[in-house]
């Protein structure tokens, strides 16, 4: 019994030490922007990174050991869901970092239409691990890849996207074989639309230009007034 209690005590000590060590590293998926915009029906490329924040004076795993494999899933069905959300349309819009993760057998892509896109990637057998870049004191990032989103068509609507670990896989591994998957926190960003002019404003502007052109060549006195007021850079722009 005494040996059992002693063994349990040692086990608990190791668990506590492991948690303390783990607490010195914070891993999360990160986007290159917090908010993306594109024209209605247009596309925008979303870049995804694995980020590590090191505290307590520890050495960076990503900068020193690097990654030999990685994976990420990006969901675009996050509530509240707009009526015309942005989304990844096909597998060609999933763009892993093939320069770094150069396994000749290629990455594995997945697409759940209307809900998520994902990939897993690996370095070749003879290739080195992919090391992180420092972006701030004690903060490091590895570029994983991109997703090309097609934006919706309803003005004012915003789609929330969420990066998370690919479920049921152990695919984010350091150069020393350390598994990071259960430690990675989710990352979020939004995709919206660039502002478009109201139809009424466009029509009024067009009518005004038509009216000006209908007047024919402008007298020099009018041209000087227009130039002084800064309406046009050159009077010739206003002539038919």
What is the pLDDT tens value at each position of the chain, 240 positions in all?
Answer: 444 434 434 443 344 344 444 448 999 999 999 999 999 999 999 999 999 999 888 899 999 999 999 999 999 999 999 999 999 999 999 999 999 999 999 999 999 999 999 999 999 999 999 999 999 999 999 999 999 999 998 988 999 999 999 999 899 999 999 999 999 999 999 999 986 555 554 454 555 554 545 555 545 554 454 455 454 444 444 444
- What distance in Å separates the CA atoms of residue 86 and residue 76, rounded to the nearest whole number? 7
Q: Find, among 163, 188, 196, the residue nearest to 38 by Cα.
A: 196
Q: What is the pLDDT of residue 10?
A: 46
Helix (H, G, I), strand (E, B) or coil at 72: strand
Burial 193-203 (b: 16+ CB within 10 A, else e): beeeeeeeeee
Domain ranges of the chain: 24-193, 199-238
pTM for the model: 0.74
- What distance in Å separates the CA atoms of residue 52 and residue 125, rounded to the nearest whole number? 25
Q: What is the pLDDT of residue 58?
A: 87
Q: What is the pLDDT of residue 224?
A: 57
Beta bridge partners of residue 140, listed in sequence order: 52, 134
What is the dihedral angle through the alpha carbons of 163, 168, 170, 172, rounded to the nearest 10 degrees?
Answer: -10
- What distance in Å separates the CA atoms of residue 173 and residue 142, rounded to the nearest whole number? 12
Q: What is the pLDDT of residue 211?
A: 52
Q: What is the pLDDT of residue 57?
A: 81
Q: What is the pLDDT of residue 214?
A: 52
Q: Is 2.40.10.340 the CATH number for 24-193?
A: no
């Amino acid at each position: 019994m005494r040996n059992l209690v002693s063994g349990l005590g040692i086990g608990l000590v190791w668990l506590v030490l492991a948690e303390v060590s783990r607490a010195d590293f914070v891993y999360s998926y990160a986007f290159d922007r917090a908010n993306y915009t594109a024209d209605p029906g247009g596309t925008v490329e979303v870049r995804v990174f694995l980020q590590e924040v090191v505290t307590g004076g520890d050495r960076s795993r990503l900068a020193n050991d690097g990654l030999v494999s990685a994976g990420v899933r990006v969901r675009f069905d996050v509530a509240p869901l707009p009526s015309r959300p942005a989304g990844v349309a096909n597998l060609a819009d999933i763009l892993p970092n093939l320069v770094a993760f150069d396994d000749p057998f290629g990455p594995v892509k997945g697409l759940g239409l209307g809900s998520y896109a994902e990939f897993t990637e690996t370095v070749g057998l003879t290739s080195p691990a992919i090391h992180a870049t420092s972006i701030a004191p004690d903060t490091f990032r590895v570029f994983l890849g991109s997703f090309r989103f097609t934006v919706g068509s309803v003005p004012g609507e915003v789609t929330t996207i969420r990066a998370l670990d690919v479920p049921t896989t152990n695919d984010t591994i350091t150069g020393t074989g350390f598994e990071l998957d259960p430690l990675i926190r989710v990352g979020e960003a939004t995709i919206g639309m660039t502002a478009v002019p109201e139809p009424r404003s466009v029509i009024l502007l067009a009518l005004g230009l038509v009216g000006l052109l209908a007047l024919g060549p402008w007298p020099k006195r009018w041209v000087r007034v227009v130039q002084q007021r800064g309406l046009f850079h050159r009077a010739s722009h206003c002539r038919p």
